[in-house]
């Protein structure tokens, strides 16, 4: 076996392998690796591909249930939605590439998650994105050059997402965007994709059948993406991070559209045995994982691999992450049928190898063995670390004080509505085609969750993503539970029954005990909430090393929840519909919250968006959570929708009750809430506190009694707050009017504050 470059411990360390890992490589091979083999092990055992710091913790997540058809371990999760159909969905990150090259990093992130979906045999019908950026508007203590850089990253990411989704022809229908200083050097770009497949038509990445041909199809292999996602996401950033731009892949959504149609047609022919996309780690990942999962081996000849650059070495070909490529195992004797399909779609397809029975991943180059590695140890026996865990010592901080009772709070509401995290993201989603393919029932800005129809049936699917890094920094266990509950509550408020979850877990350096403590506690929070709400985790992604120069992001687990509507026509939007309708607060945990001491209220209030925006405080703790109450509320919301009892629904979350009421009014043609509240809590807590298990609905007055009866059945308090009117936005508390404003003024602030800042010319890079 050739070995032009001598592989040493020093060279292995430069590839991210520790001395112990390199010794394990030698043990598996029974010899020193070739340079190509070193590269293969380095990417396959990278943090991004092997989950070596997270595997032992991920085992605590619930992954099974009667609705789960495919759980973690395949390209995407699949759940049964009835009528012989499956919903296939997954969320993944492209954080590090999007910092290095925002446009291509985000675009290839969309392309990668779409391939995960149609590799399963599903046609993609929707994309959602969950994004985090540093401040993009002027703020105290934030340098102008930092704001300018953050805006350039935001602009590039949004253009990359819209470019890929719009060109490919999949609607980008929802998601969320938050802004916090900790994301200035580490933006988060998490993308979720959803597809539909026949349950009996799912395809898995398991190579089988000795001598079955292995077929390469799609774009030619180039040098873009070598040590791309696999290693960019496996180390912290430093001052030289900008030099990693050549490691980011280049996107071609038009090629991917052809690949989608050709692959689905090929799968329908019955000639495809297994299929895997070439994502992170490229040919390395697709060959070794298909062999390992199938209990077989694969042999490929690199001389047959289509290339777009001359002089590429086996190392470069195996590690390239060039986009829009697939690897298939064909039924022997039927590969000609597949070649005809790919030729019809204008795609290059080449037979590059075969399935073997010896369990080896064997790579040939002009007759020479460039790599020969047992597939199963490479994929399944890599390092797994129980890294040290220790809670960081936190310094005492002051909590936010409440305003004197009776003080007007209109200005506070205006400031919260104009804050970047709450303000309208219309500037973003108007760049997306969110109606292409005509499946979109409720798109961006219309409901708590995106709602898609399942064509050929009456059914619908609802999707939401959620995460709160600030809350997870304060308490990762509680914050993670809230992320699950909020995302599921959004789905229920749209009228859908929450079915299953996917997660993207974004954290700092796992080699730091305090980061692993955050991660472990967040895993426990996600696990407990998913068990309580009946939403098993079907797949997802872990993204570590989100820190630069020793400064980590807030721990940010992002949860995507999928829900099912038996009749998509019952889907609920959030906007008020008619003057005179009754506004009702549904509160499943009202009894527990009624007697909270002022100190507890202050601690929870200090973690709110209002406290951060108006008081400049981000401290305290997330509100306590009652998962049983959350479940009762969700059951009630789905029943109210299916019975068509209410005309709108909106959960209460970031910004509290006052913001929820405002968002129900925006886009409603001048309709606005006129409400009267009463209670013992400070007014700011009552209006802007972010306790969960609550939602606001509007209903025709004649149906109020039926609503109360339904709420009583689920143990949910239904309190009539007031009515939908046209005389402006008004809130009274304990007989004092504390908020009064023209609804048009509030809507202008909410609609235009972020957009006005972002459309200003970007400062020159410096």
Q: Write down the pLDDT at residue 487.
A: 98
| Cβ neighbour number for residue 340 with a 10 Å cutoff | 12
Report which of 246, 233, 225, 408 is spatially closest to residue 319, judged by C-alpha positions: 225
H helix or E strand, kind and range, residue 483: helix 476-493
Residue 243: which domain range?
1-63+204-382
Mean pLDDT of 600-626: 96
Q: Strand pairing partners for 552?
A: 547
Active site residue 376: no
Candidate list 48, 57, 376, 482, residue with the active-site label? 48
Q: Write down the pLDDT at residue 4.
A: 67
Give 349-407 pLDDT, tens digit per residue: 999 999 999 999 999 998 899 999 999 999 998 899 999 999 998 888 899 999 998 99
302 inside domain: yes
Give 122-167 pLDDT, tens digit per residue: 999 999 999 999 999 887 888 889 999 999 999 999 999 999 999 9
Report which of 286, 160, 163 is spatially closest to residue 218, judged by C-alpha positions: 286
Cβ–Cβ < 8 Å for 8, 19: no
Half-sphere exposure (Cβ direction) of 470: Cα atoms closer than 13 Å: 24
Give 68-125 pLDDT, tens digit per residue: 999 999 999 999 999 999 999 999 999 999 999 999 999 999 999 999 999 999 999 9
When pLDDT is cut at 50, 70 and 90, the band that residue 229 belongs to is very low
Q: Write down the pLDDT at residue 1.
A: 47
Q: Write down the pLDDT at residue 394.
A: 83
Mean pLDDT of 173-194: 96
499 inside domain: no
When pLDDT is cut at 50, 70 and 90, the band that residue 3 belongs to is very low
Q: Which residues contact 340 (CB under 8 A, 6 or more apart)?
A: none
Distance CA 742, CA 725 (A): 12
* Through-space distance between the first and last CA atoms of the chain, rounded to whole angstroms: 50
Q: Of the ranges 170-174, 230-234, 417-421, 717-721, which one carries the lowest mean pLDDT score?
A: 230-234
Distance CA 209, CA 433 (A): 42
Distance CA 711, CA 639 (A): 10
Question: Backbone dihedral region of 341: left (phi > 0), alpha (psi from -120 to 50 degrees) or beta?
Answer: alpha
Statement: residue 675 has pLDDT above 60: yes
Report which of 555, 747, 571, 580 is spatially closest to residue 667, judged by C-alpha positions: 747
CATH number assigned to the domain comprising residue 58: 3.90.650.10
Q: Which residues contact 98 (CB under 8 A, 6 or more apart)?
A: 105, 106, 109, 153, 156, 157, 160, 187, 189
When pLDDT is cut at 50, 70 and 90, the band that residue 51 belongs to is very high
15 inside domain: yes
Statement: residue 250 has pLDDT above 50: yes
Mean pLDDT of 192-209: 97
- Helix locations, 494-538, DSSP H: 513-533
Distance CA 295, CA 291 (A): 6
CA angle 364, 365, 370 (to 5 degrees): 60
When pLDDT is cut at 50, 70 and 90, the band that residue 757 belongs to is confident
Give the chain's domain count: 1
113 inside domain: no
Q: Which one is predicted more confidently, 234 or 651?
A: 651
When pLDDT is cut at 50, 70 and 90, the band that residue 736 belongs to is very high
Distance CA 125, CA 196 (A): 7
Tell me the pTM. 0.95
Backbone angles phi, psi at 338, to 5 degrees: -65, -40
Between the alpha carbon of residue 677 and those of residues 536, 583, 657, the distances in Å are: 38, 12, 11
Statement: residue 708 has pLDDT above 70: yes
11-15, 45-49, 242-246, 579-583: which has the highest mean pLDDT?
Answer: 579-583
Express as a percent the part of the chain with pLDDT over 90: 89
Taking all residues of the chain, what is their mean pLDDT, rounded to a whole number?
94
Distance CA 434, CA 688 (A): 31
DSSP state of 446: T
Active site residue 94: yes
SS3 content of the chain, % helix, strand, coil (to 5): 40, 25, 35
Distance CA 718, CA 715 (A): 9
Token pair belonging to 321: 């992450």
Statement: residue 503 has pLDDT above 60: yes
Report CA dihedral (744, 748, 750, 753) to the nearest 10 degrees.
Answer: -160
317 inside domain: yes
Give 557-595 pLDDT, tens digit per residue: 999 999 999 999 999 999 999 999 999 999 999 877 777
46 inside domain: yes
Cβ–Cβ < 8 Å for 517, 552: no
Each as own residue / partner, the long-range contacts of residues 759-764 (CB below 8 Å, 24 or more positions apart, any chain) are 759/427, 762/148, 762/151, 762/152, 762/155, 763/144, 763/145, 763/148, 763/151, 764/148
177 inside domain: no
Report which of 241, 256, 29, 35 is spatially closest to residue 165, judged by C-alpha positions: 256
- Helix locations, 86-243, DSSP H: 95-100, 102-118, 144-168, 229-232
Token pair belonging to 281: 């780690």
H helix or E strand, kind and range, residue 188: strand 188-198
Which H, E and C letters describe 6-56, residue by residue? Answer: CCCHHHHHHCCCCHHHHHHHHHHHCCCCCHHHHHHHHHHCCHHHHCCCCHH
Q: Which residues contact 408 (CB under 8 A, 6 or more apart)?
A: 738, 739, 740
Q: Write down the pLDDT at residue 246.
A: 54
DSSP state of 72: B
Statement: residue 245 has pLDDT above 50: no
Strands 123-133 and 172-179: parallel
| Cβ neighbour number for residue 761 with a 10 Å cutoff | 5
696 inside domain: no
CA 167, 169, 173, 178 torsion: positive or negative? negative
Tallying the residues shown for the chain, one arrives at 766
- Mapped onto helix, strand or coil, the DSSP state of residue 327 is strand
Q: Of the ranges 206-215, 523-532, 749-758, which one carries the lowest mean pLDDT score?
A: 749-758
Query: Which letter, b or e, does each residue of 111-134 get, where b requires 16 or more Cβ atoms within 10 Å of its Cβ?
Result: bbbbbbbbbbbbebbbbbbbbbbb
Cβ–Cβ < 8 Å for 574, 724: no
Residue for token pair 């991210």: 16
Token pair belonging to 90: 């997954």
Candidate list 15, 57, 94, 96, residue with the active-site label? 94
Distance CA 40, CA 282 (A): 10
Statement: residue 262 has pLDDT above 80: yes
Token pair belonging to 626: 């009652």
Strands 440-442 and 551-552: unpaired
Give 656-671 pLDDT, tens digit per residue: 999 999 999 999 999 9
């Amino acid at each position: 076996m050739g070995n032009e470059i001598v592989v040493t411990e020093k060279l292995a360390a430069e590839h991210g392998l520790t001395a112990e890992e390199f010794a394990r490589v030698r043990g598996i091979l029974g010899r020193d690796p070739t340079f190509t083999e070193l590269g293969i092990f380095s990417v396959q055992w990278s943090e991004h591909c092997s989950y070596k710091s997270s595997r032992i913790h991920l085992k605590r997540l619930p992954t099974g249930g009667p609705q789960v058809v495919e759980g973690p371990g395949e390209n995407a999760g699949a759940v049964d939605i009835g009528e012989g159909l499956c919903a296939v969905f997954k969320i993944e990150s492209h954080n590090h590439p999007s910092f290095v090259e925002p446009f291509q990093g985000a675009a290839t992130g969309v392309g990668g998650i779409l391939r995960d979906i149609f590799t399963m045999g599903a046609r993609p019908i929707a994309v959602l994105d969950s994004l985090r950026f540093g401040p993009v508007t002027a703020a105290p203590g934030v340098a102008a050059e930092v704001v300018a850089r953050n805006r350039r990253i935001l602009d590039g990411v949004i253009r990359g997402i819209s470019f890929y989704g719009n060109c490919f022809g999949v609607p980008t229908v929802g998601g969320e965007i938050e802004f916090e200083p900790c994301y200035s050097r580490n933006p988060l770009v998490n993308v979720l994709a959803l597809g539909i497949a026949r349950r009996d038509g799912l395809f898995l990445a398991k190579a089988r059948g000795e001598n079955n041909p292995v077929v390469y199809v799609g774009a030619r292999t180039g040098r873009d993406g070598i040590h791309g996602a696999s290693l960019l996401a496996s180390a912290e950033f430093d001052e030289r991070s900008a030099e990693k731009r050549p490691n980011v892949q280049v996107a071609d959504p038009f090629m991917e559209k052809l690949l989608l149609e050709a692959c689905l047609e090929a799968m329908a022919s019955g000639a495809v045995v297994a299929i895997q996309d070439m994502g992170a780690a490229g040919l390395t990942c697709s060959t070794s994982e298909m062999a390992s999962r199938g209990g077989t081996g694969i042999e490929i000849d690199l001389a047959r691999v289509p290339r777009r650059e001359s002089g590429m070495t086996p190392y470069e070909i195996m590690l390239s992450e060039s986009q829009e490529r697939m690897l298939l195992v064909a039924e022997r004797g039927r590969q000609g049928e597949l070649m005809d399909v790919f030729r019809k779609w204008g795609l290059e397809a080449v037979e590059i190898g075969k399935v073997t029975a010896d369990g080896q991943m064997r790579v040939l180059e002009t007759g020479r063995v460039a790599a020969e590695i047992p597939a199963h140890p490479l994929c399944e026996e890599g390092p797994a670390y129980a890294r040290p865990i220790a809670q960081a010592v936190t310094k005492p901080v002051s909590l936010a004080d409440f305003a004197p009772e009776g003080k007007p709070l209109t200005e506070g509401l205006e400031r919260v509505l104009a804050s970047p995290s709450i303000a309208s993201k219309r500037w973003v989603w108007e760049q997306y085609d969110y109606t292409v393919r005509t499946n979109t029932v409720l798109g961006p800005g219309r409901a708590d969750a995106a709602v898609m129809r399942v064509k050929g049936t009456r059914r619908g699917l609802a999707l939401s993503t959620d995460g709160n890094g600030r809350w997870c920094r304060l308490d990762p266990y509680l914050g993670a539970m809230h992320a699950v509950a909020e995302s599921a509550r959004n789905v229920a408020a749209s009228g859908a029954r929450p079915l299953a979850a996917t997660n993207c877990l974004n954290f700092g350096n796992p080699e730091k005990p305090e980061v692993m403590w955050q991660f472990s506690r967040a895993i426990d929070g996600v696990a407990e909430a998913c068990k309580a709400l009946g939403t098993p985790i079907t797949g997802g992604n872990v993204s570590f090393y989100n820190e630069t120069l020793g400064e980590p992001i807030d721990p940010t687990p992002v949860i995507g929840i999928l829900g099912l509507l038996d009749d998509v026509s019952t889907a609920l939007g959030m906007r008020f519909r008619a003057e005179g309708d009754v506004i009702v607060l549904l509160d499943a945990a009202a009894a527990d919250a009624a007697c909270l001491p002022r100190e507890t209220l202050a601690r929870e209030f200090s973690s709110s968006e209002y406290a951060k925006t108006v008081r400049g405080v981000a401290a305290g703790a997330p509100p306590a959570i009652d998962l049983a109450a959350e479940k009762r509320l969700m059951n009630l919301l789905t029943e109210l929708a299916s019975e068509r009892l209410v005309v709108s629904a909106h959960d209460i979350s970031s910004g509290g009750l006052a913001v929820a009421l405002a968002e129900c009014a925006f886009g409603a043609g001048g309709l606005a809430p006129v409400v009267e509240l009463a209670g013992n809590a400070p007014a700011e807590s009552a209006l802007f506190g972010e306790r969960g298990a609550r939602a606001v609905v509007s209903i025709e007055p004649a149906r109020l009694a039926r609503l109360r009866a339904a709420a009583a059945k689920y143990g949910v308090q239904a309190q009539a707050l007031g009515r939908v009117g046209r005389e402006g936005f008004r809130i009274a508390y304990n007989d004092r009017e504390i908020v009064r404003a023209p609804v048009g003024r509030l809507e202008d602030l909410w609609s235009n504050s972020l957009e006005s800042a972002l459309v200003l010319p970007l400062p020159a890079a410096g």
